[in-house]
Amino acid sequence: MSRPLRDLKPNSFYHIYNRGNNKEAIFKTPADKQFFLGLLFRYRKACDIKIVAYCIMDNHFHLIARTGKEPKSLSKYMQKISVTFAMEINRKYQRVGHIFQGRYNAKYLEYKKDLIQVTRYVQQNPIREGLVKKASDYPWLSRN
């Protein structure tokens, strides 16, 4: 049975997030986070995605992105990132199986207030987790 297609809209903002399978850490080292961050930027132009904000935690990530003219490219973008990251992490740590809990979540941010609220939520993530006192001290967070 196939999953239903996402109803993505052109030139729209989405809060995209996912976490590790069994809530496990998927970013075990700074190099893992850097590799993932590199993937976010590597595929964005080819898929016509604009990265607005991101936060990479040990067991999950948040991304706020804007789709281009062809919104289905968001699915292609996330597939490229997820597959490439999973293959590298499985190779690096000599493991098999899923890295992520499931398919990524993409919440449509219909209104400007939603975009502002979610951006604030993403930026406060490392503070809420007690990792830093100021968001600017967390290296795996976009600076907006």
What homologous superfamily is domain 13-137 in, according to CATH? Transposase IS200-like (3.30.70.1290)
pLDDT over threshold 90, residue 143: no
First-residue to last-residue Cα distance in the chain: 41
Please list, in sequence order, all residues whose beta carbon lies within 8 angstroms of the beta carbon of residue 112, skipping any fewer than 6 positions away: none
Angle, in degrees to the nearest 10, between helices 30-42 and 73-92: 150
Q: Average pLDDT of 24-29?
A: 94
Where are the domains positioned within the chain? 13-137
Q: What pLDDT sits at residue 3?
A: 57
What are residue 64's DSSP bridge partners?
A: 15, 53
Q: What pLDDT sits at residue 11?
A: 95
55 and 122 Cβ atoms separated by less than 8 Å: yes
DSSP class of residue 84 equals: H
More confident residue, 3 or 23: 23
Q: Average pLDDT of 53-74?
A: 96
Q: What pLDDT sits at residue 71?
A: 87
Q: What pLDDT sits at residue 5?
A: 57
Tokens representing residue 111 in the block: 């209104």
Quick: pLDDT tens for 83-109.
999 999 999 999 998 899 989 999 999
The mean-pLDDT minimum among 4-8, 74-78, 89-93 falls in 4-8
DSSP class of residue 5 equals: P
Q: What is the model's pTM?
A: 0.93
- The chain-wide mean pLDDT, for the chain, equals 93
125 and 55 Cβ atoms separated by less than 8 Å: yes
